[in-house]
């Protein structure tokens, strides 16, 4: 997560040194817990049988990750983005603790800036990149079709079908176009949307960090 610049605040202006120290220690502990979550995600990808590391990581982090399993919008048949939501929530708490540990106070502007930046870094931006990579691979298959790629194309279309249909209705209503043109249009549209959203988020974070309340 990128660090946001905040106005200078006199140290220990809003709390005692004791609570600031506790907050700084808690932020450090959450950093280690975030690392455990990432290791847990990696071990689930590797799927090594009878892996003691995966077992103990599961005992430590799975109860927390399970709290986010109910977010159905982030869960699909082939992928699960709920760990990103769990990491985002942890990042917000960790950043607020670190800010309090440094300045001795937390303002509404700081919280707003943290929320905006964390939602973008952990949720929106990864989704954009995920779509861009899938669309780039799908476009490659449009230029290099073969009997061996039919299965991959079907898998990609199962993930991108809704997005492709929406873009077709948006830009080519009532018209029939080939896959290459539709995928290219979708890729360019998502890229422009990503760049615009990124610039808007940066502007909003900068604005929120300068609000004096």
Does the structure show a pLDDT above 90 at 195?
A: yes
- For 38-65, what is the mean pLDDT? 80
Domain that holds residue 208: 108-213
Look at residues 66, 91, 106 and tell me which one is the last residue of a structural domain. 106
Q: In terms of domains, do 19 and 54 share one?
A: yes
d(CA 85, CA 101): 24
Does the structure show a pLDDT above 80 at 167?
A: yes
Q: Which 3 state secondary structure label does DSSP give 78?
A: coil
Q: In terms of domains, do 57 and 102 share one?
A: yes
Token pair of 9, please?
């605040």
Does the structure show a pLDDT above 60 at 96?
A: yes
d(CA 183, CA 153): 12
Q: In terms of domains, do 136 and 84 share one?
A: no
- For 82-111, what is the mean pLDDT? 83
How distant, in Å, are the alpha carbons of 26, 57, 82, 184, 189 from that of 64?
16, 11, 11, 40, 36
Confidence of residue 143 (pLDDT cuts 50, 70, 90): confident
Q: What is the pLDDT of residue 170?
A: 92
Q: In terms of domains, do 64 and 149 share one?
A: no
Q: What is the pLDDT of residue 76?
A: 67
Q: Assess contact for 57 and 39: CB atoms under 8 A.
A: yes
More confident residue, 45 or 193: 193
d(CA 98, CA 93): 9
Global pTM?
0.70
Q: What is the pLDDT of residue 2?
A: 46
Look at residues 106, 123, 157 and tell me which one is the last residue of a structural domain. 106
Does the structure show a pLDDT above 90 at 186?
A: yes
Domain total in the chain: 2
Q: In terms of domains, do 78 and 3 share one?
A: yes
In DSSP terms, 75 is beta-bridged to 80
Q: Assess contact for 176 and 77: CB atoms under 8 A.
A: no
Confidence of residue 190 (pLDDT cuts 50, 70, 90): very high
Q: In terms of domains, do 82 and 135 share one?
A: no
Percent with pLDDT over 90 in the chain:
23
Q: In terms of domains, do 101 and 200 share one?
A: no
Q: In terms of domains, do 66 and 43 share one?
A: yes
More confident residue, 88 or 72: 88
């Amino acid at each position: 997560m990128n660090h946001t610049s905040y106005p200078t605040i006199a140290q220990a202006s809003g709390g005692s040194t004791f609570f600031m120290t506790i907050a700084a220690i808690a932020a450090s502990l959450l950093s280690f817990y975030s690392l455990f979550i990432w290791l847990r995600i990696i071990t689930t990808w590797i799927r090594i049988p009878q892996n003691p590391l995966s077992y103990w990581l599961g005992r430590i982090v799975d109860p927390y990750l399970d709290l986010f399993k109910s977010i159905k919008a982030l869960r699909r048949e082939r992928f699960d983005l709920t760990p990103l939501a769990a990491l985002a929530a942890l990042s917000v708490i960790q950043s607020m603790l670190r800010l309090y540990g440094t300045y001795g106070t937390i303002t509404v502007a700081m919280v707003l800036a943290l929320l905006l930046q964390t939602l973008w870094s952990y949720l929106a931006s990864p989704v954009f990149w995920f779509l861009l990579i899938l669309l780039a691979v799908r476009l490659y298959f449009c230029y290099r079709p073969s009997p061996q790629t039919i299965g991959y194309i079907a898998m990609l279309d199962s993930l991108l079908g809704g997005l492709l249909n929406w873009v077709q209705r948006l830009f080519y209503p009532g018209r029939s176009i080939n896959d290459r043109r539709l995928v290219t249009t979708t890729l360019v549209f998502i890229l422009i949307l990503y760049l615009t959203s990124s610039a808007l988020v940066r502007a909003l974070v900068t604005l929120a960090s300068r609000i004096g309340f």
